[in-house]
Amino acid sequence: MRIVVTGATGFLGRPLVARLVRDGHAVTALVRHPERMAREGVRAEKYDARSPLRPGMLAGHDAVVHLAGESIARRWTEAQKALILESRSMGTAAVAKAAIEAKTVKVLLSASAVGYYGPRGGEELIEDSPPGDDFLARVCVAWEGAADPASLAGIRTVRLRSGIVLHPEGGALRRMLVAFRLGVGGRVGSGRQYMSWIHREDWIALCVHCLHSDAFIGPVNFTAPNPVTNREFTKALGGVLRRPTLFAAPAFALKAVFGEMATMLLDGQRAVPRHAQSHNFQFRFPQLHGALTDLVR
């Protein structure tokens, strides 16, 4: 296949591109800095999530994996919130429009997140569960909606509702490891909030599976089958590292430091991959202890 990947130099895009090239696909990477994307089997093009794609950029390609978007892991000022929303909704709309105009694209995989469901406590959330109404939920609704024209045009469109993707190279785990290895890690807030996690290797494998299987259409929870509470995650990570987990980050302190963004740490979703499981996708790391052991030992 000829596949376009946006955000190809990111935490998820980089290993995905490596897997696709290894599988024999021809990859076009749409990135901010094409000069940094030097890899055999990959052609790089300049891309800005808030600008239209160059006419004909997607022509001749069979599939698009759209991962680019402004990071949410920073304090949310009003300007930052606008940038987060715009980079996702405008970027996705531009990619969907270009995919339709290309007339060769058969499948679009477009990133989203389990933040779509909003804070729901211990409620089990599947792909049919309704959206929440906090800032992240509203962003996800707009983000997913921006891909609707592609779906209406007959392009098989899959919305990748990712949970917390685990790998020491980046994301939440990389930040946690610093404190936990020093023995000063601990739960966040009450510790009762759920963490819908997935090993990065399973995330990549499920993404590739969605590219090739017509059974996958619409939203797909990119999470492991066994979400855990923050307290359980803390205990598991401390156990694998053989470090104490006596410290805790109180909610009021996180809110003072991060403002509204602290809700991302203090609230959670108990999302399960109903769609992936019903279509017999086999998770290599369905349990947290096995995933953490593989990642940090």
Q: Evaluate whether residue 264 is within a structural domain.
A: no
pLDDT confidence bin for 257, thresholds 50/70/90 = low
CA atoms within 13 A on the CB side of 32: 12
pLDDT in tens, 204-254: 999 999 999 999 999 999 999 999 999 999 999 999 999 999 888 877 676
| Domain annotation covers residue 158 | yes
Domain total of the chain: 1
Kindly state whether residue 286 falls inside one of the protein's structural domains: no
209 CB-near residues (< 8 Å, 6+ apart): 216, 276, 281
Position 229 in a domain: no
Residue 170 sits at the vertex; the CA angle it makes with 164 and 171, to the nearest 5 degrees, is: 30
Residue 202 belongs to some domain of the structure: yes
- Domain membership of residue 296 (yes or no) is no
**85-123 residue pLDDT tens:** 988 999 999 999 999 999 999 999 999 999 999 999 999
Question: Does residue 179 lie within any of the structural domains?
Answer: no
27 belongs to a structural domain: yes
Give the model confidence (pLDDT) of 21-69 as tens digits: 999 999 999 988 887 776 777 999 888 877 788 889 999 999 999 998 8
Global confidence as pTM: 0.94
Structural domain boundaries, residue 12? 2-163+198-223
pLDDT score at 256 = 67
Give me the CATH number covering residue 100.
Answer: 3.40.50.720
Distance between CA atoms of residues 112 and 46, nearest Å: 22
